[in-house]
Amino acid sequence: MEFEVTVLGCNSAIPAHGRNQTSQLLKIGNSYLLLDCGEGTQIQLRKFKLRFSKIDFILISHLHGDHYLGLMGLISSFQLHKRTRLLTIFGPVGLDEILTVQLKHSNTKLNFPLRFVVTDPETPKLILEESNFKVFSFPLKHRIPCTGFRVEEKIRFRSLVKEKLQEKKIPVEAINCLRNGKDYTGENGNVVYSLREYTHPPKTPRAYSYCSDTCFDPEIVPYIKHSNLLYHEATFGNDYEDRARETFHSTAAQAGKIAKSASVGRLLIGHYSTRYLDLSSLLQEAKEEFPKTYLSEEGITYSID
């Protein structure tokens, strides 16, 4: 199953140096999720030839403009393209009011159903479950209520040991039972075909964790533990650590420390301050704490494996 994320915007509050405000498109199987929607998001979707019509879920971390001001424009484009499919938006209290006011005063009546789900900035929760993935929200510490998101695949079927299938003819119902993670038992209740003997150990579900805006906060580690890929904001370098603390943001080095503590596979940093035209210093500072660190770059797709 494909599991990948494409960066649409990687800058902080102001677009500059050819970089745009925060947004990412996550693809898992045939499902598309938009993580935040900064100004210009739909332009980026078109620029990189991404099929935004397939987006069914939008997750907004908080109500700072660089994370949601592109949302109304995207909704308007869905309307103009005659969308009829349900769109579900997850976001903080107040976002539904903002959208309602804009729709009201533009006298817009949507062609498609829009469902709004309020996120909880205080408690980690399972907010979405589909056949092949789950999404959890968790609290981030920022100047206003803010949530991070963890998208985790669901392993639906176990793979069978081919050698065992070749040794004997196994009934279809037994194969289905084994693939679904259950021993196959006979009428007397005894195990006829065991998971241990006839299937390979289940794969560890892959996970992507997204930490949009947050101060350095080790308390988030349990929520992002063992993610294959972690995105963590790195607004400043060590030269502006005091500024990061004042604004409830993180430095690149702090992002690296979080990645190390959470034992993640790889770290993707972003949300760069306009102070930095050259991002190499941020990358180097993060790598000193966590070597498997990469800069998020717009238009680049990162595999989650």
pLDDT tens sequence across 31-69: 999 999 999 999 999 999 998 899 999 999 999 999 999
- Note the pLDDT tens digit of each residue in 107-116: 999 999 999 9
Would residue 36 show up in a list of annotated catalytic residues for this protein?
no
Closest CA to 233 of 35, 17, 93, 4: 35
> For 174-210, what is each residue's pLDDT tens digit?
778 878 778 878 778 788 778 787 777 777 899 999 9
Give the model's pLDDT for residue 175.
76
Number of domains in the chain: 2
Between 148 and 169, the higher pLDDT residue: 148
* Residue 113 sits in the same domain as residue 187: no
**Marked catalytic residue, from 36, 66, 183, 213:** 66
Task: Judge if 47 and 176 occupy the same domain.
Answer: no
Q: What is the side-by-side order of every strand in the sheet holding 55-59?
A: 114-118, 87-91, 55-59, 31-37, 23-28, 3-9, 301-303
Secondary structure of residue 77 in the 3-state scheme: helix
Rounded Cα distance between 305 and 298, Å, is 20
Residue 143: what pLDDT? 97
Residues 6+ apart with CB under 8 A from 144: 62, 63, 64
CA pair distance 60, 33, nearest whole angstrom: 11
Same domain, 169 and 207: no
Q: Does residue 149 share a domain with residue 52? A: yes
Q: Do 102 and 251 fall within a single domain?
A: yes
Domain containing 28 equals 3-155+203-303
Of 70, 67, 133, 57, nearest in space to 102 by CA: 70
Is 7:297 a contact under the CB 8 Å cutoff? yes
